[in-house]
Chain A
Amino acid sequence: MQNLIQFIIKYGHILAFLLLELFAFSLIVQKNQNQQDIFLYNKDLFFGKAKKQIQEVKGYLSIAQLADSLAEENAKLRAQFRNAKIKQLTIEKTINDSLWHQMYSYIPAKVIQNAVHLKNNTIMIDKGSLDSIQSGMGVIAEHGVVGVVSKVSEHFARITPIIHRHSRISVAIRRNGYFGTLRWYGPSISRFVVEDIPKRFGQTDVKNGDLIITSGYSTIFPKGIEIGLVSNVWVKEGSSFYTVELNSFIDMATIKTVYVVRNLYRQEFDELLNSP
């Protein structure tokens, strides 16, 4: 109590000043037309701005969710592509009455670890065996092939990317369908080499600017995913194969969302391949 009285004696005039000014201003904006108009206008302006800013912040907060749902939708759309389906011509009396059957489905995933500066790089993603990912599945992204799943735990998967010394992807030249193997020897993460395209007599099989796509022969990737453009072609002395240099579309250093390719016919395919 003593303190309170002392406080009022010491600071009472400031309190009185503030209260009276507040009172005076409330009178001003209530009783004077001009000031009232200006006050209301500014109030609307201020609260309108504040509201807009709150809305913007809310938008940012939900952006992660939005990105996830977009990735989900992308995967669904990719599954609609022709190259994700298999044609079944031998239609007997079955309940399946459509010509095209789903062959590939896509599982969206986020890159949680990525290295691009090593000789043998690895990528980690945030989906694992619980999301039905198995080793040996292909991984693609918006601008091309990323790599192949090499090891899987329950919640994560390790990918051997195309910028790995042991990575081999079956690719083809779109113009004429000649196929070879995509290899990487570093150090640039956008320069790749296609080997094993046989040299044919008297023909220009490969030209600068040719589009390289996945061949679809490996059943890991669907056919026709664009990888890059040919930038240089030569034949090693004494060799009967072209060595093709290409610049990839994908930038491995910036990938964030990837899609794991799931071949729905893989088990059948493997059984047949490995049968005696």
Chain B
Amino acid sequence: MMQKFFARDIARFIVAIVLQVIVFQYIFKGTALSPYVFVFFYPIAILLLPIRTPPIVVILLSFGLGVFIDLYYGTIGIHTSALVFVGFIRQYLLRLMEPRKKYEIKDIPNIANFGVRWFLIYTSILLLANCFFYYAVDAFTLVYLLDILVKTVLSTVISTLFIFIYVILYRNA
């Protein structure tokens, strides 16, 4: 049982990286939206980790995944810092959003377990944090705050949409 979950988590990491690299980075390429939208798909691997995963493990996995993505995009440290932040606040958000019936040991935060509404709120909040952190660090100054906010909102909405579609398509993800 445990092994099955473990294998599924590993698989999700690989799928996240592969889809990010071969599909989602090209989606808006060449369109007017491309300077404003970056599809953050890879955080799905962190979002869908089992709820009872120890926080320190979540953070370390975030770091590893972030380094991987950064190496690919050549933005050393930027994705990493944002994703580590997401890994850090995930546990607090989960604690805040705990439904009345309490979490079970094997629960994964997905639609099948908690419903569409819960999942959309959960995903969009974490992605919002991720996007804002990413664009703030990318600019490295708050002088262009408006610019940062526009990019953050657009990227959050579109990334949430794609992650939602993916989770609908693969209910067992």
Contacts and interface: CB of A to CB of B under 8 A. Distances in A.
* Size class of the contact patch on chain B: 20 to 34
A198 to B, nearest CB: 80
Nearest to B82: A24
B76 A31 contact: yes
A24 B84 contact: yes
Contacts, number: 59
B91 A13 contact: yes
A17 interface: yes
Contacts of A235: none
Contacts of B59: 13, 16-17, 20
A147 to B, nearest CB: 62
Interface stretch (A33-41, A180-188, A258-266): A33-41
A11 to B, nearest CB: 10
B56 A25 contact: no
B63 interface: yes
Contacts of B58: 13
A68 interface: no
B interface secondary structure, majority? helix
Interface in B112-146: 137, 140-141
Nearest to A18: B88
B78 interface: yes
A13 B55 contact: yes
B81 A21 contact: yes
A34 B85 CA distance: 22
A13 B137 CA distance: 22
B84 A32 contact: no
A34 B137 CA distance: 11
Interface string A4-32: 00000000111011001100111110111
A21 B56 contact: no
A20 B84 contact: yes
Nearest to A13: B55
Given A13-B59, A16-B56, A17-B59, A35 B80 contact: no
Interface residues of A, number: 19
A267 B81 CA distance: 86
Contacts of A17: 59, 84-85, 87-88
B35 to A, nearest CB: 15
Contacts of B50: none
A13 B81 contact: no
B78 A13 contact: no
A35 B76 CA distance: 11
Most buried by B among A25, A35, A39: A35
Contacts of A27: 76-77, 80
Contact of A24 (B55, B56, B77, B91): B77
A92 to B, nearest CB: 84
A28 B84 CA distance: 14
Contact of A28 (B60, B76, B87): B76
A216 B29 CA distance: 96
Contact of B77 (A12, A14, A16, A28): A28
Contacts of A35: 78, 137, 140
B66 interface: yes
Contacts of B66: 24
30 contacts: A12-B56, A13-B54, A13-B56, A13-B58, A14-B88, A16-B56, A16-B59, A16-B60, A17-B87, A20-B60, A20-B80, A21-B85, A24-B63, A24-B77, A24-B78, A24-B80, A24-B81, A25-B81, A27-B76, A28-B77, A28-B78, A30-B76, A31-B76, A32-B75, A32-B76, A32-B77, A34-B140, A35-B137, A38-B140, A38-B141
Interface of B: 54-56, 58-60, 63, 66, 75-78, 80-81, 84-85, 87-88, 91, 137, 140-141
- Nearest 8 A-B pairs (CB), nearest first? A27-B77, A28-B77, A13-B55, A31-B76, A24-B81, A17-B88, A13-B56, A24-B80
Interface of A: 12-14, 16-17, 20-21, 24-28, 30-32, 34-35, 38-39
